[in-house]
Each structure stands twice: as C-alpha cells, then as structure tokens.
C-alpha cells in the first residue's frame, strides 16, 4: 500500500528536492538520482512511505569526488569559521526539529517524543564540536633550547561513514560534526530503512554555510552502496555503526587499503544489581534501558544480573513497569513503537521462542490488538533465570527483551557481566561505593554507570566498546583524535 506524504507533508517534501516521491542521494549540494529505487516501508503498518534511490558505485564515486574537491578548501578555513558554521547548523536543526522528528518517527517506528529528543541531541553534537574546535590544539615538546618541536592535528581528507537504522539522526550528526570540525569532508551512507533525515541534514549543512561537497549522503542498500564506500580507494578513514558481522567485513575492506577505522558494533550490556541497591530506582532504569527505541539500541541493558536475595522482588518491580507500557505507531507517541521491520520482528521471535530455560514472566509475542496487527510490534518481554550460555543471553536480540541471571557472590556477578563476547556498557547498582569502584574496574565495558544508566550516555562522554563491541571512540573531545592524524615537526633554531 502506497500513501501520500503525511509527516508535515514529508518535511515539506524533503525540503523541496527534485522529486516529490523519491528520496535521492545528496551529492555536491544537489540531488543525484540513482538508476533504480526501492520502497521505504513504515514499520507501524507496512505501508510505503515513498521510494529511495538505490545508489551504488556510480553515486559513491560522484560523492567521493565531490568531497575531495571540497575538502582542502574547507580544511583551509579557520577553526573560528568552522565553529560558526557548525553552530549555525545546530540552530537550523533546532529550527526544523519537528519536521526532522516526524520523518524519523515514521522511518524507524520510534515514539515521536523519542525522535524529538534525537533531533535535539543531533543539534547538540554540532554545537558541542563547534565549540570544541576552538580549543583543539597540537602540543609543543621540550627537546632543548636549540630545537622547537611541536605536533599538528591534521584531517584525513575524505572520510566515509556507514550508520545504523536505530538512531539515524544522532549517528549521522556525531560523525559529521566531529569529522568536519577538524577539516574533513564526509560521504555518509545511511541505513537502507532510514534515509530521509540524513538527506535532510545534508541539505541543512549547505544552508548553514558548508561548501557543497563537504557533506554528502548516498542512499541505497548496504551490500551495494555501503560496500562501494568501504572499498573506495580515495576514502582515507572509515566509520561504521552496526552489527559485529558487518563491522568485520568493513574492517577487512579497510585493512586491505591500510585505512583506519572506528567501529561501534553490538552489545549485550549487563545491569548488575546487588542486594543493597535501591530496587525501585534500579527497576525504573532497567525497564527504560531495555524498552527505549523498542530495545533496538546497541547499549540496551538487556541482561539483568541480580543478587539472588532480591531477585524475586526486582523481577516483579520490572514486570510492573513493563505492564504499564502502551504500544502504538510512532507518530501517536506511545511508550513503545514497532520494531523497524517485519524481518526484525521475526528475528526477535526466533530468540524468544528458542530461549530454552527460564520462566517467561510476561510478553513473548506480538500484541493481540487488531489495530497493531499489520505493524512490526513486539510486547515487552521478561524471561527470568535463563542459561547464561544460551543464545538469548549471549547474542544481541535488538528488541524489547530482558533476561535475568542470579548471583550470590561479587566475583560471580563480575564473571556473569563479562561472560559475553561484547563489552559496550554496564551498570552497577549498589550503595557500597567501594564495591562500585571495584566492580566498575573489573567489568569489561567501554562505559560503566553506577546507580544510573544512560544508553550511550551524553554527547560529552567518549563512547565505544571492548572486545567484539568494536574499537575506537566516538563522542566527546576524544572523537576529534580519531578524525585527525598527528604530524610531528622538529625545527633546529640555530
């Protein structure tokens, strides 16, 4: 079923592009039509939101050439100028927040209020890096009175960024803002399912004053456009957000060309709750941490590792929060929207039905509401006492599914928290701060929260994983180091 544009007339027909019915790639400041298209599906009801340009090598080549042509001039501008442009872009995103959020809500299925938050955070990335670049310097090295040694942080040139479908605006913004702040130009490939806000923000970058070609977006399928971008010989740096399996392919493509990469991959994050924790506070954060964006968050706290003495009480408290959740289409702003696609719904079904051990406390199926039958919905699901070695406890489900595992000793809790191939986030819930610091040091994760939980944390916090959750860091000032290379200059003064 195809329908006419609705989300604020599809954000004024995607900001008055060349085609009212198709989302095209945006290259060198203008639409670039592909030779073929595919349908953009609304996960709330299965209807067709419109067509998407199925870009490939031709479009990637054009985007990389445009980026290379624009990059040197952009890098030659002063940090003050780049700061002004980035903060102006933040203002434009704030101005158009509602239109961007409605597109994001339709594409992903997430509740509208969460999409509004994503747009607000997207603006924050540009404002943060617009301010950070003013104070991002090299260093001097004291070798002696007759030598002047210093370092320069220089951009790579053209960077490629392939982002996932769960937080399209946030993921694109953190890549574009940090990379362009230090003088790179970028070619971004949004996820197949969620292309529209990426194109919209590329248009806004030109309105903000970035030269055409500094920010380019190629729409299309991962196996075509994404693969072409990963192997392009003129892309000097690659960033990828997505599955560990695809990340491995990206890393191999980059290694063949000796190109640096930043990989933000999967997660199976543990919420470790000790007997002395504030159980109601923990329950509230645990429920929110696995239900946000329908659990489609790499840093979702999908494993609850809980002390046996408080296990029953905490499970019931979390279940009580789950029972209060209302489901609906994203634009209705429910507590829980649909999964991103019917394929993702079937993936979640497979994990839940194959869970094996454990007691299904609630959920475990799509909702029975006929109003939601055509969408990709899944009920909040809680399974108590699963085998820590089972697939549902080891692998990323990417749905609103929480599994629990009991422990009795601190060492056992740490062992369970570390008992997966992933290491993205963890949380420690205890009133004993000595224990909290000790466990935080022993848990293998890129971020550890104590008596709180933020799926990915704030813009300021370096973000990335240990083990198979990837390498390199995004967000925070540390991200600027990953988008630049160090040049050391030594001058003899005599």
Residues recognised as catalytic = 264
DSSP string, 215-261: EEE--S-IIIIIHHHHT-TT--EEEEES-HHHHHHHHHHHHHTT--E
Q: Strands 359-362 and 381-384, how do they pair?
A: antiparallel
What's the CA gap between 131 and 181, in Å, rounded?
A: 9
Q: Which of 464, 185, 148, 450 is nearest to 299 (CA)?
A: 464
Asked whether 447 and 425 are in contact (CB, 8 A), the reply is yes
Distances (CA, A) of 133 to 73, 80, 178, 407: 17, 8, 9, 46
**Burial call 453-486: b when 16+ CB within 10 Å, e when fewer:** bebbbebebbbbbebbbbbbbbbbbbbbbbbbee
Asked whether 250 and 244 are in contact (CB, 8 A), the reply is no
Residues facing residue 359 across a β-bridge: 384
Tokens of 397: 């489900």
What's the CA gap between 102 and 118, in Å, rounded?
A: 11
Asked whether 427 and 450 are in contact (CB, 8 A), the reply is yes
What's the CA gap between 382 and 290, in Å, rounded?
A: 10
Q: Is 349 left (phi over 0), alpha (psi -120 to 50) or beta?
A: alpha
């Amino acid at each position: 079923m195809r329908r006419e544009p609705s989300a604020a007339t599809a954000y004024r027909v995607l900001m008055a592009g060349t085609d009212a019915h198709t989302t095209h790639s945006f290259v060198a400041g203008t639409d670039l039509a592909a030779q073929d298209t595919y349908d953009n599906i609304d996960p709330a009801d299965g209807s067709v939101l419109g067509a998407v340009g199925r870009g490939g090598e031709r479009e990637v080549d054009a985007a990389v050439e445009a980026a290379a042509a624009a990059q040197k001039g952009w890098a030659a501008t002063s940090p003050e100028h780049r700061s002004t442009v980035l903060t102006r872009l933040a203002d434009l995103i704030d101005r158009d927040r509602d239109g961007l959020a409605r597109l994001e809500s339709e594409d992903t299925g997430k509740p509208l209020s969460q999409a509004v938050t994503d747009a607000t955070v997207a603006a924050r990335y540009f404002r943060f890096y617009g301010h950070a670049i003013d104070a991002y310097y090299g260093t001097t090295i004291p070798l002696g009175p007759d030598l002047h040694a210093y370092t320069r942080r220089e951009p790579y040139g053209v960077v490629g960024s392939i982002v996932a479908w769960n937080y399209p605006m946030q993921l694109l913004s953190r890549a574009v803002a940090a990379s362009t702040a230090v003088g790179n130009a970028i070619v971004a490939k949004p996820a197949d399912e969620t292309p529209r806000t990426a194109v919209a923000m590329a248009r806004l970058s030109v309105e903000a004053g970035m030269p055409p070609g500094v920010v380019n977006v190629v729409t299309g399928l991962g196996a075509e456009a994404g693969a072409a971008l990963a192997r392009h010989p003129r892309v000097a740096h690659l960033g990828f957000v997505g599955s560990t399996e695809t990340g491995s392919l990206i890393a191999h493509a980059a290694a063949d060309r000796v190109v640096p990469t930043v990989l933000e991959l999967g997660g199976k994050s543990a919420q470790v709750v000790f007997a002395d924790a504030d159980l109601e506070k923990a329950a509230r954060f645990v429920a929110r941490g696995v239900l946000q964006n329908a659990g489609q968050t790499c840093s979702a706290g999908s494993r609850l590792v809980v002390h046996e003495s408080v296990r029953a009480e905490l499970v019931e408290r979390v279940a009580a929060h789950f029972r209060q959740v209302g489901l609906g289409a994203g634009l209705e702003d429910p507590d829980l929207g649909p999964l991103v696609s019917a394929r993702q719904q079937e993936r979640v079904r497979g994990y839940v039905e194959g869970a094996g051990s454990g007691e299904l406390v609630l959920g475990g199926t799509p909702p029975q509401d006929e109003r939601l039958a055509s969408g990709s919905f899944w009920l909040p699901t809680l399974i108590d006492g699963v085998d820590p070695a089972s697939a549902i406890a080891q692998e990323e489900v990417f749905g609103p599914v929480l599994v629990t595992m009991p422990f009795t000793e601190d060492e056992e809790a740490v062992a369970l928290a570390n008992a997966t191939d992933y290491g993205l986030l963890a949380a420690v819930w205890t009133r004993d701060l000595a224990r909290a610091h000790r466990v935080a040091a022993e848990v293998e994760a890129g971020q550890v929260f104590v008596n709180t939980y933020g799926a990915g944390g704030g813009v300021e916090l370096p973000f990335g994983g240990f083990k198979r959750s990837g390498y390199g860091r995004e967000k925070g000032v540390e991200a600027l180091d990953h988008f630049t290379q160090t040049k050391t200059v030594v001058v003899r003064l005599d």
